[in-house]
A and B are shown apart, each in its own frame.
Chain A
Amino acid sequence: MADALAKPESPVGEAHAAPKALVLWRPEAKTGLISWLTTVDHKRIGFMYGVAALFFFLVGGVEALLIRLQLAVPNNNFLTAQQYNEMFTMHATTMIFLAVMPLSAAFFNFIMPLQIGARDVAFPRLNAFSFWVFLAGAVILNIGWFIHDGAPNGGWFGYTPLTTRGFSPSHSIDMWVMGLQLLGVASIAASLNFIVTILNMRAPGMTMMRLPVFTWMTLVTAFLVVLAFPAITIALIELMMDRLFGTNFFEVSNGGMPVLWTHLFWVFGHPEVYILILPAMGIISEILPTFARKPLFGYPIVVFSGACIGFLGFGVWSHHMFTTGMGTVATAAFSMTTMAIAVPTGVKIFNWIGTLWNGHLTMRTPMRFALGFIWLFMIGGFSGVMHAAAPADAQQHNSYFVVAHFHYVLIGGSLFALLAGIHYWFPLMFGRRVSEGWGKLSFWIIFVGFNVTFFPMHFLGLNGMPRRTFTYDPNMGWNTGNLIATVGAFILGVGVAVYFTVMIYTFFKGERTGSDPWDARTLEWSLPVPVPEYNYRVIPTVHARDAWWYEKRNKDEVARARAAHAPGEASHGIHMPFQSIYPLVSAVGILIGSIGVSVIDADPGPGLIGPKLAVTLAGLAVFLVGVYLWALEGNEGYHVHPEEDHP
């Protein structure tokens, strides 16, 4: 089904002896639309993930601004209750699944194979499939805006029985369910790929304890995705069965227990939090050493604490449920594990400060975002510890205090790191660099706007304002805080607008840089810019952690090692996988089938099968055709013989 890449030793003669694979079409375009639709290049797929994620980031941002407009003054009439509920549901769903996760995936795709000295991921076509299915999921989630049923409005957590057919009869919840289901498929497929890639495709000498921290965090995140997403997949299947076939999983009158949903959801939902933050921590652990010009302080402990967070992350889900009446023992246990997880998180912060200590801090824009990350993430972490104290959380839970907390962790944490990462790797991706002045300006506007928006929310929450409310009365003492937050949100919006404008400008007209403009430390910076399709002309041999830094200072040793195995590779060229349209075909089949399941009414049509079943089956057929042709075209490739002149 899937294809292994780059086995230079595969006997070419034998391949010709066997009957040719069933290949209907070998797309060979290197530019233009077809090249993008059929690409299996991890860098192009990463780029597409990035573009999609940034687009949905803007969509989610607009939703956030509309929310803040509605809450700017008490008893506002800007949005109706229903529109407001759609906004906060879609804001959360969009930001988590369509912005932060795919933006992380963009870096996983683009950077991780380069960091381990690989030529691509282990299964390039599966990688393309993951992206297209992600896009299909994003489409399904957002169809509701354009049709009568409306966008999903049951909250991103979709608590039953509110999301069962009895209380939410419209298709908007079906779209939410199917959308998340597809995003789950995409995430799991991508993560399986990353796991195999990181474990199997490392360059010679790249031992696990020499992996760059970002790659380590990619690995931990991938394991979290693979192990956590099945829980929500099952929860969604059960909900879907209830909605489509009238089963009783969450049917209260037949003994269904809504609290089962909350458990299944948060067994996924809490690891999801770490799925969002661990890649960010990895990015920060790359940027700080580069701009401090010294190695990461306590690399083994940073790696170990990352893994530890991932592991403990599966044992804290019920801290989202302290108010569900779990009883004293369960509450105490989850309270303690939640506090325990603060230790490895704190350790990371200590190590980052240790990295700065005695360094030469070059304060470029990525470094500013990285330092901003540490400050804001610290604040978010501390309010997290406050939640861990279960009795105190009984007041904070579902109040704006929680909203403040997780925005400090998700914007101040994840997003700041991702914005830092964009600045940091921009020269590698596009050979251009953002102007420092504009970069710093956008940083300061975002930093100020963020704090003005979310710091007052701590006070609002402690002052008793619950979340997910479309209105509030003027006599509750929440007017000032809300107004400040709305003003802050628009400052933040301006900051993001500046950031994006500068990025787009830089993409076309920015200052050109050569390779390795930051004097960085990890292997991806050894590549020429733009990175060739095959990445490494000669697979590097790794001699130390911070391989590129070592290479720059021990040129002779590295050159000798390279010379030793370069001729072998040069003799038969570099194996490249063929492009393929079938990942896209399969994903389109899934999209069609999902539309059938979630959007179309179940009214029996004139014929034997109604339109719902017909569309669903048509989607299944397209999917199967895609998968079979994918399998039958085989994992063959071609060889390129790059010029010898690259260093």
Chain B
Amino acid sequence: MALFPLTSTFARRALAGFAALAVPLLSGCSWQSWLGLDGKQSTFQVEGPVARDQLQLFYITCYVTFAIFIIVGAILAYATLKFWAHSDADEHAEPPPQGHGNPLVEVGLIGAAVLALVVIAIPTLKGIWYTYDVPAESKADAYEVVATGYQWWFKFEYPKEQIAGAGPLTCANELVIPAGRPVRIALRSMDVMHSFWVPKLAGKVDMIPNRANFIWLKAEHPGYFWGQCAEFCGESHAVMRFRVVALGPQEFRDWVEHQAQPARSVAAAQGALSFAHVAAAPIRAYAPNEAGVSAAYETAPLDSWRARQLPNESEDPALIARGRALFSEKTCISCHTVRGVPGAMGITGPDLTHVGARSSIAGGLLENNSEQLRRWIHNPGAVKPGNKMWVTGYLVNNIHLASDEELALVAFLQSLK
């Protein structure tokens, strides 16, 4: 039998295929990676109770609808095949009995549909109340943050951490929260509608001007999470991203304490400076919308983030001092606050007091390193089309940065740990 070996090869291959399919299915959560559902914003690999509740409800809706789909689909397929008029004779046969329906069947099916929906409705109602606000028993433990959406970045304020003379502790684009504690985030918007979404921690809630929305979430363990604006908010909506970093209790306290300090000052101790002759290499050419992230950084993102909290090993104090001066000269201070730099009290843009310690810049779009930071300040409009720093800053005030100026500013900003 010539067919036999072929069939058996086919059978072996099919078996291997099934095994490849079944192994991940059986081994727990890796079926998600098999289906490509293990992304950084996967709603399947949840790390908090709110997202978990939402995922459980999703599974219930899936089970119910899959079951109905299989039953109804099977009947539809059967009816199609069974009553298919294959031949001409069939087609021209006497028409079938002209039945008009069966009320009993109808009512029965309506009843079944209602029942199936009740199965979904009950956990839905439970979930609506659970995911709405911090459960009463843990309300006392809840940590409060205020998140404000701007075109196209996020501001995070910590009303519990007041800094003398400067109001609440303010960060941007990276929300650091205590792990293991519920966090209640007040959601505000200062311009258009945005939406706050960290899929692994909780579903989204919109940030709407003139509306006091809030969301609650909890990170069960320390971790590093990706989030993104989920309401169309204008030209650069796609690149309005942010991160959530959850830290253990002690680490979180240390972080708060450090953040409350004014900006780190490197150049203060240095004397005469000779920055004028820095030979600055021209910036490498970037395609518009080129990726600004590296895989290496994200293999262990939380560790990378922790490493960023420490000052850079090789710092050039002269260059940093030059950058610090340029920060004022180039009118950066009119939009950005850097606590500790005189005059830098602008509130139009993100607070940059500890920008060097963040893992991302430009609203979570680029990895925070010298190269990407230079790319960002070199031409903000090319990185994030329509952004305010470009449109109402660079263009209106006619700001131009020479290569060495870019390097100095980058060195200064990178030193702000």
Chain A interface residues (CB < 8 Å from chain B): 74-77, 80-82, 84-85, 153, 155, 159, 161-162, 167, 252, 255-259, 292-301, 323-325, 327-328, 331-332, 335-336, 339-340, 342-343, 346-347, 349-351, 353-354, 356-363, 371, 374-375, 378-379, 382-383, 385-386, 388-399, 459, 462-478, 480-481
Contacts and interface: CB of A to CB of B under 8 A. Distances in A.
B190 to A, nearest CB: 9
B39 A386 contact: no
Given A391-B124, A394-B203, A473 B41 contact: no
Contacts of B146: none
Contacts of B274: none
Nearest to B364: A473
A359 B83 contact: yes
Contact of A85 (B69, B151, B235): B235
Interface of B: 35-44, 51, 53-55, 57-58, 60-62, 64-66, 68-69, 72-73, 75-76, 79-80, 83-85, 90-91, 93, 95-103, 105-106, 109-110, 113-114, 117, 120-121, 123-125, 127-132, 151, 187, 191-193, 195, 197, 199, 202-206, 208-211, 213-214, 226, 228-239, 287-291, 293, 295, 298, 385-386
B374 to A, nearest CB: 19
A189 B228 CA distance: 43
- Of A351, A362, A394, the most chain B CB neighbours within 10 A belong to A394
A342 B117 CA distance: 9
B205 A325 contact: yes
B367 to A, nearest CB: 10
Contacts of A255: 210
Contacts of B44: 462-463
29 contacts: A81-B386, A162-B233, A258-B209, A294-B98, A300-B101, A301-B101, A331-B132, A346-B113, A357-B83, A358-B96, A358-B97, A374-B76, A385-B117, A388-B124, A391-B128, A391-B130, A391-B203, A392-B54, A392-B55, A394-B202, A395-B199, A398-B232, A399-B230, A459-B37, A463-B38, A466-B230, A469-B237, A469-B238, A477-B39
Contact of A353 (B76, B90, B203): B76
Given A393-B203, A462-B44, A363 B58 contact: no
Given A294-B98, A301-B106, A323-B205, 16 more contacts: A85-B234, A159-B192, A296-B101, A297-B101, A339-B124, A343-B114, A350-B72, A354-B105, A360-B85, A389-B123, A391-B124, A391-B130, A395-B199, A463-B41, A467-B232, A477-B36
**Closest A-B pairs by Cβ, 8 of them:** A464-B41, A394-B203, A477-B39, A469-B238, A298-B101, A391-B127, A325-B213, A382-B65
A151 to B, nearest CB: 14
Nearest to A357: B79
Given A294-B95, A357-B79, A398-B230, A463 B206 contact: no
Contacts of B65: 382-383, 385-386
Given A162-B233, A293-B96, A464 B40 contact: yes
A239 to B, nearest CB: 14
A463 B58 CA distance: 13
A362 B85 CA distance: 5
A167 B191 contact: yes
B289 to A, nearest CB: 5
Contacts of A75: 289-291
A473 B293 contact: yes
Nearest to A335: B124
Contacts of B36: 459, 463, 477, 480-481
B91 A362 contact: yes
Nearest to B59: A392
Contacts of A297: 99-102
Nearest to A472: B238
B110 A361 contact: no
A302 B191 CA distance: 47
B125 A356 contact: no
A80 B291 CA distance: 15
A301 B103 CA distance: 9
